[in-house]
């Protein structure tokens, strides 16, 4: 009985926490279905800085798809930034696939002088926030003549240390015997990497991709620091630019931005769990 009560109590706590976590998303989705006058009425104290209190209804009184229609058909600049985000994220992930995956395999399967120091350095760099590396990155991009281009965001992200670390942990989980067996069968290093390492380390790779996607789909500091031209900005910077009088469009845009991330999460959820689990395993 006590066990059951405790279970119910824990369930309630968890449910409340889950509601707390989901509430912002729910508010955004329902608010995107509100009409302009309803939003203005609710947000009046914020928009015009009066001293009244904000009153917000969860469900719209008169739901409408007008905000989505306006966003999709009458806001071409939204699609510009959407495809900017898609392009930048895709290129970054492809670049990471080309750079971080082999680097992770090298760290996992080869011994070379300075490996531990390099790994330590990678870990430290991974933990450093962007604000610390922003200035040296700015100087380098300026010297390369890449300022105010999307390459100034893509190139540093491609050489990020985080996916190296995640894939390294994923490759570490592959049993050595499998690799030795392949070696005995005459497979070369590249063949082992391609046919054994990548398939078996897919969980690590995909979890790195999923986390990378979520990070770069929502990135704000890098494009804000390196890109001046608003037509090159990603969606994450576009949303704050929308004025208060277009709150409905801003909310609809926020919902649309959520959709790709949701898809990616659905696709890579299993791998994400595996990757997190693998990265915690000890040999």
Which positions touch another protein (CB under 8 A)?
A: 72-76, 78-79, 82-83, 86, 259-260, 263-264, 266-267, 270
Distance CA 187, CA 179 (A): 9
> Nearer to another protein by C-beta: 76 or 186?
76
Kindly state the tokens that stand for 225.
């620091």
**3-class secondary-structure state, position 146:** coil
Residue number with CB closer to another protein (9 or 83): 83
Nearer to another protein, 223 or 268 (CB): 268
Minimum CB separation from another protein for residue 145, in Å?
A: 30
Reading the block at residue 231, the tokens are 């037509």
Residue (105 or 238) nearer to another protein, CB: 238
For another protein, the closer of residues 102 and 260 by Cβ is: 260
Asked if 87 contacts 146 with a C-beta cutoff of 8 angstroms, the reply is no
Identify whether the C-beta of residue 165 lies closer than 8 Å to the C-beta of residue 122. Answer: yes
Q: Tell me the closest approach of the beta carbon of residue 273 to another protein, in angstroms.
A: 13
Q: For another protein, give the closer residue by CB, 66 or 183.
A: 66
- For residue 268, the minimal CB distance to another protein (Å) is 10
Helix/strand/coil percentages in the chain, nearest 5: 80, 0, 20
Q: Helices (H), strands (E): how many in the chain?
A: 15, 0
Closest separation between CB of residue 255 and another protein, Å? 12
Q: Shortest Cβ distance from residue 263 to another protein (Å)?
A: 4
- Hey, CA dihedral for 103, 108, 112, 113, is it positive or negative? positive
Q: Is 82 exposed, middle or buried (0-12, 13-18, 19+ CB in 10 A)?
A: middle
Would you say 251 and 71 are in contact if contact means Cβ atoms under 8 Å apart?
A: no
CB 267, CB 118: distance < 8 Å: no
* Smallest distance, another protein to C-beta of residue 259, A: 6
77 vs 245, which CB is nearer to another protein? 77
> Are 133 and 73 within 8 A, CB to CB?
no
Both structure tokens of 133: 């590396």
CB of 262 to another protein, least distance (A): 9
């Amino acid at each position: 009985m006590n066990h059951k009560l405790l279970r119910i109590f824990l369930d309630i706590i968890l449910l409340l926490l889950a509601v707390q976590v989901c509430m912002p998303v729910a508010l955004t989705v329902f608010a995107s279905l509100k009409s302009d006058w309803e939003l203005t009425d609710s947000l009046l104290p914020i928009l015009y800085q009066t001293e009244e209190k904000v009153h917000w209804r969860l469900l719209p009184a008169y739901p409408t798809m007008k905000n989505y229609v306006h966003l999709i058909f009458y806001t071409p600049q939204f699609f510009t930034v959407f495809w900017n985000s898609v392009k930048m994220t895709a290129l970054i992930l492809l670049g990471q696939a080309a750079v971080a995956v082999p680097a992770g395999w090298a760290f996992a399967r080869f011994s070379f002088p300075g490996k531990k120091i390099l790994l330590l350095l990678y870990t430290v760099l991974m933990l450093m926030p962007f604000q610390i590396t922003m200035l040296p990155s700015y100087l380098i991009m300026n010297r390369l003549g890449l300022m105010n281009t999307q390459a100034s965001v893509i190139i540093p992200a491609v050489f990020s240390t985080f996916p190296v670390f995640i894939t390294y942990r994923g490759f570490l989980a592959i049993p050595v015997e499998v690799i030795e067996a392949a070696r005995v069968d005459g497979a070369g290093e590249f063949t082992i990497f391609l046919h054994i390492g990548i398939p078996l380390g897919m969980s690590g790779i995909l979890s790195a991709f999923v986390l990378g996607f979520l990070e770069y789909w929502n990135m704000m500091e890098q494009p804000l620091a390196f890109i001046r031209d608003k037509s090159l900005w990603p969606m994450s910077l576009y949303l704050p630019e929308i004025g208060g009088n277009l709150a409905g469009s801003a909310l609809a845009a926020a919902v649309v931005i959520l959709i790709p991330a949701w898809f990616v999460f659905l696709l890579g959820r299993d791998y994400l769990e595996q990757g997190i689990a693998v990265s915690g395993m000890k040999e």
